[in-house]
Amino acid sequence: MSDDANLIERFLEMLVAEAGASQHTLAAYRTDLEQASAITGGRLSCADRELVSKLPSHWRKLQNSTVARKSSSLRRYFRFLVEEGFRADDPSDALPRPGSARSLPKTLSHGEIESLFRHVAEGLEREPGKAAISRLSAIMELLYGSGLRASELVTLSRSSIAGDEPFLIIKGKGNKERLVPISQQARSAVRRWMEFVDPMEKWLFPSRTGHISRIRLFQIIKEHAARAGINPAKISPHVLRHAFATHLLEGGADLRALQTLLGHSDISTTQIYTHIDSARLVELVNNRHPLSQLDLAR
């Protein structure tokens, strides 16, 4: 299977798991992406901005609504490739941009995060010897506490946890390794879960056929959200990763630090991926700007 074909399948799998996409929606995405792949000679997934800019010339005879859909399909696909670490840059700014501007990615409030972790803590207290709740605890700590991608989490090996070292060893695209900080609480959660995993097992989160799938990970997260009283439609592994970045930014982290933590090659990706609540910006100016300390009425 070619890189384009393989990555398109992974993208469609994500749409089913995260967005609950219908068969009709999947068929539309598949058609748009496979046609674009054919136009680019099977190089869509690695296409640069110049190659992507040539796609609209093949859409001249199409209705505006169809062009808008194709552009949207490709934008979402390239965003997926960047977010999952399959490429470092997003060339989709070369595509037509009909309609309204792209909305910010979904995130969770501090209160919603507290509800999710409170439900985990209650489960651990109620059934400390149950494997399912220990696995959930480890998953939540790694997704929100370390900002891992779904693909990075499901493919974690047992050897990724180096004793009591305060970091994880993550292998990304091209087998490039990066270090991801892991809190003491997360290490404790992982150690508790490892007691349920066969010492000879390769994967940290195994399944009958290898490691757990992305789809199963999405299911675990959404089931947990429902039990914690949060709308499952609001949450996914990527939403937790985005909450990790957003809350760090709100807490004072700078974009360069976030770039390192998230494993982004380009700072512009981090700028798109993170955002600050506008109300906090207003408060920041009102309370921190030097002029706010001056009484100009005197």
Its sign, for the CA torsion 263, 267, 268, 274, is: positive
* 75 a catalytic residue: no
- Cα–Cα distance, 44 to 48 (Å, whole number): 9
| 3-state SS class at 7 | helix
Of 173, 192, 227, 275, which is the active-site residue? Answer: 173
Q: Which of 119, 187, 224, 264 is catalytic?
A: 264
For the chain, the C-alpha Rg in angstroms (whole number) is 21
Catalytic (active site) residue 273: yes
241 as an active site residue: the answer is yes
Whether residue 88 contacts residue 265, with contact meaning beta carbons closer than 8 Å, is answered with yes
Q: Which of 29, 77, 144, 273 is catalytic?
A: 273
Structure tokens at 106: 């979904």
Residues sharing a CB contact under 8 Å with residue 154, sequence separation 6 or more, in sequence order: 205, 211, 212, 213, 214, 217
Q: How is 66-123 classified by DSSP, letter by letter? A: HHHHHHHHHHHHHHHHHHTTS-S--GGGGS---SSPPPPPP---HHHHHHHHHHHHHH
76 is a catalytic site residue: no
Q: How far apart are CA 3 and CA 56, in angstroms?
A: 22
Of 208, 172, 173, 166, nearest in space to 190 by CA:
166
Q: Which of 76, 87, 187, 238 is catalytic?
A: 238
Please pick, among 76, 87, 119, 149, the residue that the annotation labels catalytic.
149
The rounded distance, in Å, linking the Cα atoms of 92 and 52 is 7
191 noted as active-site residue: no
Burial class, 75, CB count within 10 angstroms (exposed 0-12 / middle 13-18 / buried 19+): middle
Which residues are designated catalytic?
149, 173, 238, 241, 264, 273
